[in-house]
Amino acid sequence: MAASSFFLNRHLKLSFCVFLLCLSGTAVAQLSSTYYLLSCPLALSVIEAEVVTAVSSEPRMGASLLRLHFHDCFVQGCDASVLLDDTANFTGEKTAFPNNNSLRGFDVIDNIKYKLEQLCPGVVSCADILAVAARDSVYALGGPHWEVRLGRKDSTNASFSDANKDLPAPFLNLSSLITAFANKGFSQQEMVALSGSHTIGMAACRMFRNRIYNDTNIESSFQTSEQAVCPALGGDGNLAFFDATNNGNSFDNLYYQNLVNQKGLLHSDQELFNGGGTDSLVQDYARDSSLFFHDFADAMIKMSELTPLTAPNGQVRTDCRKIN
């Protein structure tokens, strides 16, 4: 009798654990690559066309759209909360330290949303637009292509405090970076792969001044050239390419080669190759662009599905900047 009770209790506990796992995966399970096949069959084509136009006009915009998606997903999941303007009821995420006077691409998202609302009113979410636009931006700049599963809904709130807390800062050391990414469920390998997004785009002087004036693990000619862009005092908004080799306009593995040569622009970049546990990963990606592309795409798929809102939760905003 005691033995049968033991096995019954054990079975119930296991069943309960499986139930919880099913609950945690329910939102992701609702996502599908064919989500808009019937309700808005031209949605992906519209997004791609607008992204290609924007990136062709200004290659830096590709990095900006990719960053928008990253900064969205790392704060309360991939729910387009990053797009919300401040209201009387809450302070949004746009003015948080990692985002203030830094995030760009809102107008491109607005243009995409406007065209989709004309085509399929109230169907395509802003969160899905961000996920697809990030993928199309990388591909437009020569990077990998991956399948984006769709069906996210948009949040009705945003979190200024979470944006300040959850987004990795450019001055973090390796252990803090590992913790920040682990808190979102990412391995060290996935963290290093996602960091390769810094092969495109630019950073403001205030984000790398301390590195180029105080760090010692920096190549001397690179240090001198960056100090010409970013003075010790003033010029906080002056911009420098993450990868000056290609002016940040080509998605490739040169970012990792720069790290090996101590030419990482941010302190947090160079921390990935500074005698720590991620050195070998950086060297692998520096040698093999195909490996980087593969691992980056896999990590982006995982990031794009961080705790998404799905029906019946959330909404499809008609204007990405405000709730309906």
Instruction: State the DSSP code for 74.
Output: T
Residue 204's H or E segment, with its range, is: strand 202-204
Q: How far is CA 182 from CA 169, 204, 222, in A?
A: 15, 26, 31
DSSP secondary structure letters along 140-186: HTT-------B---B-S---HHHHHHHSPPTT--HHHHHHHHHTTT-
Q: How far apart are CA 317 and CA 324, in angstroms?
A: 6
Check if 71 is active-site: yes
SS3 call for 290: helix
DSSP secondary structure letters along 215-241: -SSS-HHHHHHHHHHS-SSS-TT-EEE
Q: How far apart are CA 76 and CA 37, in angstroms?
A: 28
Closest CA to 238 of 202, 201, 205, 200: 205
List 69, 71, 198, 267, catalytic entry? 71
Instruction: State the DSSP code for 208.
Output: H
Closest CA to 127 of 78, 76, 68, 63: 78
Number of alpha carbons in the 13 Å side-chain half-sphere of residue 70: 24
| Catalytically active residues, by annotation | 71
